[in-house]
């Protein structure tokens, strides 16, 4: 992959300017498309029963791995180990316990490693605590202002605004960044709802810039081949390694661990959720292109644009579909179907047109036949619901007022969802 750092800097802001003429924001301009059928094998034979689906699932997993996100070349590394580094039982005025665990991926002390933050209520039911495992953008310290949370020392991405506000200096988080993302992380509300929050900084796994895969875990496992993992695949792998740790914690309800991500990390949550069946709820918050939105609609952000702006996110093979979405062998409703029969939540925001809210809805809806085959309910809505009203059971969807973001409304729905498991 080429290093395109200057372009990268221009395109780095979290919501890209998208006024250019060639971006489709008009339903009338959406090209006609035929979605590939999740319940038909590649040779055209129908998928009629559970046995068939098991085989079809493998086919679809391979297609997403080979053509979209890249294959994940390694599972749990042999040398992986967990190092508990902090435990404070009096967090949030004594309501919660804060723990920090370093997950080392090799025998080397200096890395790569992932720092997992875990905040759990002190009242733990016998079945354990339902837990949101999440990836964050700016370091664990951005979730809450507490000085107890260790400041990330890793390279962090920064917008011009972050630099101006003094949240990032020389690509490192500053003390000022503590709690800077608090509006997206209602920590106390989660604790009061009887749920735990686990989170890690995604850059611990792979710093989010196109460096030709010299750093992060790619450095450890070797430069990816064209059909091997890009950064989204790597971040998803990191989520599974964090899950490996959560499995060792007896206070966590293993049947109720949700994987959550926003935007590019929503794409990551879906791919992690498709691959790792330990996640019983998969939450895609405003994930858009390469996430929950149907690529074939070509609405808002498109495959060619995402592969140009972020050449490191997907496998190189995905560039075959630049300006050529109709040739894709899969579309994102099939990714959602790979999560079945587990619960999936797709959330959109009405002002987030770049992410194609309607395409996100249609993907959730078109995953329905697989859920039904597996004895669960499909989304159960033909049209996008009213604003701020959640629909569905096993496949859930809402579109809320406002922009590309994570809000209290979103979390309210996710809490309801995890509790219903």
346 or 373: CB nearest ligand GTR: 346
Instruction: Kindly compute the dihedral angle of the four CA atoms of residues 223, 229, 234, 239, in this order, to the nearest 10 degrees.
Output: -150
Question: Does 263 qualify as catalytic in the annotation?
Answer: yes
306 or 338: CB nearest ligand GTR: 306
Nearest approach in angstroms of CB 191 to ligand GTR is 27
CA dist., res. 259 & res. 256, Å (int):
10
CA dist., res. 231 & res. 239, Å (int):
12
**Short-list 87, 145, 94, CA closest to 116:** 87
Pairing outcome for strands 172-173 and 196-201: unpaired
**Short-list 369, 360, 370, 351, CA closest to 391:** 360
Nearest approach in angstroms of CB 207 to ligand GTR is 14
293 or 417: CB nearest ligand GTR: 293
182 or 374: CB nearest ligand GTR: 182
Q: Does an H or E element contain 87, and which?
A: strand 81-90
3-state secondary structure of 273: helix
Nearest approach in angstroms of CB 408 to ligand GTR is 19
Nearest approach in angstroms of CB 15 to ligand GTR is 6
CB of 5 closer than 8 Å to CB of 310: no
Which tokens in the block code for residue 34? Answer: 């035929």
CA angle at 342 for the pair 388 and 42, rounded to the nearest 5°: 105
Which of 231, 240, 263, 284 is catalytic? The answer is: 263
CA dist., res. 73 & res. 186, Å (int):
35
- The contact set with ligand GTR (CB under 6 A) reads 14-16, 263-264, 288-289, 301, 306
CA dist., res. 89 & res. 294, Å (int):
44
316 or 372: CB nearest ligand GTR: 316
Is the bond preceding 330 in cis, omega lying within 30 degrees of 0? Answer: no
CA dist., res. 244 & res. 195, Å (int):
19
3-state secondary structure of 354: helix
Question: Does 404 qualify as catalytic in the annotation?
Answer: yes
Which of 104, 262, 312, 404 is catalytic? The answer is: 404
First to last CA, the chain: 42
Nearest approach in angstroms of CB 206 to ligand GTR is 14
CB of 183 closer than 8 Å to CB of 189: no
CA dist., res. 21 & res. 77, Å (int):
47
Which tokens in the block code for residue 26? Answer: 């008009």
Nearest approach in angstroms of CB 55 to ligand GTR is 32
CA dist., res. 189 & res. 413, Å (int):
12
Nearest approach in angstroms of CB 66 to ligand GTR is 21
42: left (phi over 0), alpha (psi -120 to 50) or beta: alpha
Nearest approach in angstroms of CB 271 to ligand GTR is 13
301 or 410: CB nearest ligand GTR: 301
Spacing of C-alpha 112 from chain mean position: 21
Which tokens in the block code for residue 158? Answer: 């920064």
273 or 288: CB nearest ligand GTR: 288
Task: For the beta carbon of residue 85, count every other beta carbon within 10 angstroms.
Answer: 12
Catalytic residue IDs? 263, 404
């Amino acid at each position: 992959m080429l290093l395109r750092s200057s372009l990268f800097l221009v395109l780095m802001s979290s919501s890209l300017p998208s006024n250019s003429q060639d971006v489709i924001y008009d339903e009338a301009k959406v090209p006609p498309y035929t979605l590939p059928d999740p319940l038909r094998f590649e040779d055209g034979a129908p998928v009629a029963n559970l046995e068939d689906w098991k085989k079809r699932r493998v086919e679809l997993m391979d297609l997403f791995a080979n053509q979209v996100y890249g294959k994940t070349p390694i599972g749990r590394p042999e040398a992986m180990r967990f190092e508990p580094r902090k435990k404070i039982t009096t967090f949030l005025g004594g309501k919660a316990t804060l723990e920090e665990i370093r997950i080392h991926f090799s025998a080397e002390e200096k890395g790569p490693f992932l720092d997992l933050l875990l905040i759990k209520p002190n009242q733990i039911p016998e079945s354990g605590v339902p837990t949101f495992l999440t990836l964050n953008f700016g370091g664990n310290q951005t979730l809450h202002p507490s000085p107890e949370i260790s400041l990330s020392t890793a390279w962090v991405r920064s917008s011009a605004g972050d630099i101006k506000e003094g949240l990032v200096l020389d690509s490192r988080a500053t003390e000022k960044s503590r709690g800077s993302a608090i509006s997206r992380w209602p920590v106390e509300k989660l604790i009061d709802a009887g749920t735990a929050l686990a989170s890690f900084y995604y850059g611990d796994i792979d710093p989010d810039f196109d460096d030709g895969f010299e750093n992060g875990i790619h450095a450890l496992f070797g430069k990816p081949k064209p059909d091997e993992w890009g950064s989204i695949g790597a971040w998803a792998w990191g989520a599974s390694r964090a899950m490996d740790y959560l499995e060792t914690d007896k206070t966590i309800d293993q049947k109720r661990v949700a994987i959550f991500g926003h935007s590019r990390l929503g794409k990551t949550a879906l791919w992690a959720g498709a691959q790792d069946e330990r996640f019983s709820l998969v939450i895609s918050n405003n994930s858009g292109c390469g996430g929950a939105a149907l690529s074939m609609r070509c609405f808002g952000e498109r495959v060619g644009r995402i592969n140009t702006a972020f050449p490191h996110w997907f496998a190189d093979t995905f560039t075959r579909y630049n300006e050529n979405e109709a040739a894709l062998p899969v579309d994102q409703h099939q990714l959602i179907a790979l999560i079945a029969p587990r619960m999936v939540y797709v959330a959109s925001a009405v002002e987030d047109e770049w992410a194609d809210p309607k395409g996100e809805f249609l993907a959730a809806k078109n995953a329905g036949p697989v859920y039904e085959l597996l004895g669960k309910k499909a989304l159960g809505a033909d049209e996008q619901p009213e604003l701020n009203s959640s629909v569905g059971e096993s496949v859930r969807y809402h579109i809320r007022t406002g922009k590309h973001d994570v809000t209290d409304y979103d979390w309210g729905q996710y809490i309801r969802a995890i509790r219903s498991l």
